[in-house]
Structure 1
Amino acid sequence: MLTRTELRTPQRRECERCDREEVWDAADGCWRITTDDGERRTGNSHCIHEWDIDGTFRSYE
């Protein structure tokens, strides 16, 4: 009997340096900037983003 393994992908990410926040848009296959109380969480446009997705995220359960 084969067990099917599903690949998990992050659905949300936030830059640890400038607080830019994005969510995954599955329909378009890209990251989108989130909006908080009508304001886009763009962070710093010159930041080299350090996303909060690290070695603790497990792609497979």
Structure 2
Amino acid sequence: MTDVVPPGERICERCGRHDEWDDDRGAWTIVTDDGERQSGDPFCLHEWDINGNYSPLAE
């Protein structure tokens, strides 16, 4: 059996929004860096940095 491993973080290539996956909430949460939320542009159609280099299959 092959395990599928979802990404643990994502960053928008357009506006810089940075999210991390929160297992306790079961949802993406915005990263806070030095007290500032890395929320980017709320009206951006996010282009996440998850591409062909990411492999969701566990080794």
Same fold (TM over 0.5): yes
* Corresponding residue to 2:48 among 21, 29, 51: 51
The number of residues matched between the two structures is: 58
Identical aligned pairs, as a percentage? 48
Q: Kindly indicate whether residue 41 of structure 2 is the aligned counterpart of residue 23 of structure 1.
A: no
- Give the 4+ runs in structure 1 shifted more than 3 A: none
* TM, length-normalised to structure 1: 0.88
Q: Distance in 2 between matches of 1:26 and 1:54?
A: 22
Structure 2: 5+ residue runs without aligned partners?
A: none
Q: Distance in 1 between matches of 2:14 and 2:36?
A: 19
What amino acid is the match of 2:43?
H
What amino acid is the match of 1:24?
W
Structure (1 or 2) with the larger CA radius of gyration: 1
